[in-house]
Amino acid sequence: AAEQLRVHREMERADEVPVVIYHSHTATEAYPSRTDVSYAHEPDAHYVLVSTRDPERHELRSYRIVDGVITEEPVEVVDSYAPQTSGADDAPDRT
């Protein structure tokens, strides 16, 4: 908890906000617990949960949690990710 508070304070000083907050559930499904919901204070964050309760098959799910309301969102697992560019204007000028 002390580490999380330190990181949160550093982010506030840098005017940053968390985009993804994740953790694992080792004995239950990948669904937010009452404790998870009570700590969910970032309405724009994606709350990603991984369940390792079944050693043969891990479960990964993502949610938005706003004012105590849990909304699951789709997750697509890809082999790799390359940021998309909008065109030639994104490339540095070469002279």
Strands (E), the chain: 20-25, 46-51, 59-66, 69-73
- The domain segmentation of the chain, as residue ranges, is 18-75
Q: Using one digit for the tens of pLDDT, what is the confidence trace for 76-89?
A: 888 887 777 666 55
pLDDT value of position 51: 96
Fold of 18-75: Cytidine Deaminase; domain 2 (3.40.140)
Asked if 47 and 25 touch (Cβ cutoff 8 Å), the reply is no
Q: Are strands 20-25 and 46-51 parallel, antiparallel or unpaired?
A: parallel
pLDDT value of position 80: 86
Q: What is the mean pLDDT of residues 4-24?
A: 91
pLDDT value of position 4: 80
Q: What angle do CA 3, 35, 9 make, to 5 degrees?
A: 30
Q: Using one digit for the tens of pLDDT, what is the confidence trace for 31-79?
A: 999 999 999 989 999 999 999 999 899 899 999 999 999 999 999 888 8
pLDDT value of position 49: 97
